[in-house]
Amino acid sequence: MAGNWKMYKTPAETKAFFDGFLPLVAESKHCEVAICPPFVNIPTAVEATRGTRVGVGAQNLYWKNEGAFTGEISGPMIKATGAEWVIIGHSERRQYFGETDATVLDRTKAALAAGLRPIVCVGERLEEREASQTEAVLAEQFNGGIAGLDAESFAKIVIAYEPVWAIGTGKTATPDMAADAHRAIRALVTAKFGAEAGAAVRILYGGSVKPDNVKNLMAQPEIDGALVGGASLEAGSFASIVNF
């Protein structure tokens, strides 16, 4: 269960979140839990979660280790803060910041080289779903991106299926729709990396996951977890999701 805070919260607000959140998930041992705050809050989050089962992640990274790249942050820098995870290829990065399948692959390789655990996002836009292009779009994103990893690297990533039309809109994919997409992704993984990899890869669903719909989504064997935006910002609501 991963929380994507997007561009929300200050360090003080981050500290307050964990003061409320950690006691609520202290006994939650059935899943891994991670919070991905804005970069500037990572040290506060790492400090707050030290000695707990809650991990911390970034929301992006650049693929060079260092250099004259004003405004960018590298994998080794994130790793050095004590963060463990990094979200890559979120649809907001694709839509607003020029992310492509090729740069998703570059970032994923860089994250793995730095010892971070990538959560790589894929998902179709509304017009693509309406044109019955969902599986074709997922195939394009997979084949143009993370299919370029070697098998050993691929085994270390988590995939997040996030239909763009469900993100921040309050429209969740139905559990069946999400499971269909997850099956399609798993088939792509199987075709490229073999049946064992297809069975093993963890696929999170993301897009308006809330305390009241998480249980039905998680009832689908295809759905291994959730990537949660809005509902991860409040301690009680994200704890309810973790403890579905």
Interface with ligand PGA (CB under 6 A) = 4, 162, 167-168, 206-209, 227-231
Half-sphere exposure of 1 (CA within 13 A, CB side): 25
Q: How many Å apart are CA 157 and CA 202, to the nearest integer?
A: 8
Residue keyed to tokens 């195939």: 139
Count of residues for the chain?
Answer: 244
Strand partners, 232: none
Least Cβ distance, residue 91 to ligand PGA (angstroms): 7
30 is an active site residue: no
Instruction: Decide whether 190 or 243 has the Cβ nearer to ligand PGA.
Output: 243
Cβ at position 57, least distance to ligand PGA in Å: 12
Active site includes 162?
A: yes
User: Of 92, 124, 162, 222, which residue is the catalytic one?
Assistant: 162
Give the nearer residue to ligand PGA in terms of CB position, either 118 or 148: 118
User: By beta-carbon distance, which residue lies closest to ligand PGA?
Assistant: 229
Minimum Å gap between C-beta 231 and ligand PGA is 6
Q: Report the distance separating Cα 167 and Cα 19, nearest Å.
A: 27
Among residues 236, 219, 120, which one has the least CA distance to residue 178? 219
The least distance separating ligand PGA from the CB of residue 61, rounded to whole angstroms, comes to 17
H-assigned helices in the chain: 11-24, 42-49, 75-80, 91-96, 101-113, 126-130, 134-144, 151-154, 175-193, 195-200, 214-218, 235-242
- Which one from 90, 92, 99, 128 is the annotated catalytic residue? 90
The strand pairing partners of 118, in sequence order, are: 86
DSSP string, 180-241: HHHHHHHHHHHHHH-HHHHHH-EEEEESS--TTTHHHHHTSTT--EEEESGGGSSHHHHHHH
* Closest CB to ligand PGA among residues 91, 103: 91
**Smallest distance, ligand PGA to C-beta of residue 66, A:** 28
The DSSP output letter for 172 is: P
Nearer residue to ligand PGA within complex by CB, 4 or 103: 4
Q: Which is nearer to ligand PGA, 103 or 172 (CB)?
A: 172
Active site residues: 90, 162
